[in-house]
Structure 1
Amino acid sequence: MTADPSTISNPNDMSETEFHPCPICSTPVPHWARYPKSVCHNCFDKACDDKGRKLGFYNVSFSGGFKAVVEQTGEENENHICYIEGVKCWADEARFGGIVIQPFES
């Protein structure tokens, strides 16, 4: 999840935006208190299932919902668990739409 432009007075100036390190690769990620350990875009794009198959994540409708899709086969499921660089993570719908991934915490 990236910075929501609607919450920044000037979306072209992120100088006042707080960042945290991506928990996978340490790249700076715009920080949201609701998602304090969200991964960066590059790591988000590496998400795969336990068989190493690349996953895509989507909202089901405009009102929300969540689905995961195995990109190679189109197989859909509702499993939130994914792996990025061997790190077990949890993908979920973000509060105002979109998808956010954070390391799994049991």
Structure 2
Amino acid sequence: MALIEHLAQKEIKARQHARNAPRFDAGWTHDDDVFVAEVKSLTGTSEEQQIRLGIGQILDYAHQLRSTHPDDRIRPVLVLEKQPTDPRWTSVADQSGILLTWAPDFAGC
């Protein structure tokens, strides 16, 4: 996965979800933040549908983790395979507390 390679270049080790934890695609820590990511492809399906699904999933994962780890700073991340066609998704994500990023640069990660 390109995100994992990107993080490895920054010497950040990505992890999978723990047993009995939300089934996010990748997680990592940096400084005092715990990042949880959902990865969505945008080819072959409705881009809007995939982004909406990803937003719902990552908000749910973050909520579950905050409930069980209240002292951790949980940072939800939605990772897309490419920049979304509609620029509104960036502000939707920002207003929802989600870091929205995409290949190949993965800004913010």
What TM-score do you get using the length of structure 2 for normalisation? 0.31
Higher share in helix = 2
**Larger-gyration structure (1/2):** 1
Higher share in strand = 1
What TM-score do you get using the length of structure 1 for normalisation? 0.31
